[in-house]
Amino acid sequence: MTKKAEIPVTVLTGFLGAGKTTLLNHLLSQKHGYKCAIIINEFGAISIDNRLVVGVDEEILELNNGCLCCRVRGDLIKSLNDLLLKQKRFDYVLIETTGLADPSPVAQTFKATDLAEHFRLDGIVTVADARHLEKELADGPEPAAQLAFADVILLNKTDLVSPADLHRVEHRIRRMNPLARIHHTVRSQISPGQLLNIKARDLSGPFSLPPSPSPPSLEAGHDDHPHDEAHAHDASSEQEHEHEHDHDHEADPPSHHHDESVQSLFFTDERPLDLTLVESWLTGIIRELGPRIYRSKGILQIKGQPKRVIFQGVQMMFEARPDRLWNPGERRVSQMVFIGKELDEAQLRAGFEKCISG
């Protein structure tokens, strides 16, 4: 019996007033071909344009402390299970989260629970206010975490800032999260195809990394980084080899400002890696750093393996699998990106070096 395809889920997050609800309304008004179920931070069940809208009790997702705890994850699981029990016809889920500082528990919900049989986290979309983002980053940790976890960032309200200010803000975002695709928007207007079913979290979907920056890290700017261009290669259909571990530029200001404690680090090496050492190293990182590593992603050259090995992780979980064969003449190089809070670059780099096969 053929397994039924999982229903894709897109999470919309961002700081208050950035334009998330405007984006949700825009997506609902477009002809994207999906019958959407919506989970929002309101209460009650209402109908919008013949689409199913499921209200989650507002005290659950609209949290004053900006955190998601296990109780909230439980209520999210219940809401999604209720969707299945209603047996209404839908083939996509949109989740709008207001005041969500850390989208990681939502991402983990779709990996570490029975929901994985029915739903697939397609991507996290963060809406950022181009005019107020820098002040918001200075005022608290929530916007930085939302940017760090994003697969797609809408730099919204670009009509309200000068080209120079927009350039500076985007450059700052790129230093914090080089993995996300960045789109400039006004009133959150964007083609649904740029946000829906992009398979950003699926190892069997398109998988790419940004161009390698100059060592030692991504602190240097890359203003011509082609975020909106596809550099992906389709993964092979080979059986997954998964590991899921669940443990308890010129535009820079003269001061070379660092974005609070959120940073991105990029490691690259042409020497093949030892798979056992890599797995041990990553497991150790998870145990030691836990939630301080928001995101990780990599394409690895493994000794004795004719295929690329790809991996990505969210905090205390990661998964890996063989990808496609290395192409003839292709530069075989391992690339790893870590996005997190107060990361010790020297420590991580030393661990990476120990994984190089002798």
State the residue range of the domain holding 330: 262-354
pLDDT < 70 positions in the chain: 1-3, 41-74, 87-88, 98-102, 112, 204-207, 211-260, 358
In a domain, residue 188? The reply is: yes
Domain boundary among 170, 194, 218: 194
Residue located via tokens 């990661």: 318
pLDDT score, position 107: 74
Q: What is the domain-level CATH number for residue 337?
A: 3.30.1220.10
In a domain, 248, yes or no: no
Structure confidence at residue 192 (pLDDT): 94
Q: Which stretches within the chain are classed as H helix?
A: 20-29, 58-61, 70-86, 104-109, 133-139, 142-149, 163-176, 275-289, 345-354
Q: In the prediction, which pLDDT does 45 show?
A: 36
**In the prediction, which pLDDT does 317 show?**
77
Domain termination residue (choose one: 156, 176, 194) = 194
Asked if residues 327 and 336 have their Cβ atoms less than 8 Å apart, the reply is: no
pLDDT at 302: 94
Q: Looking at the domain assignment, is residue 2 inside a domain?
A: no
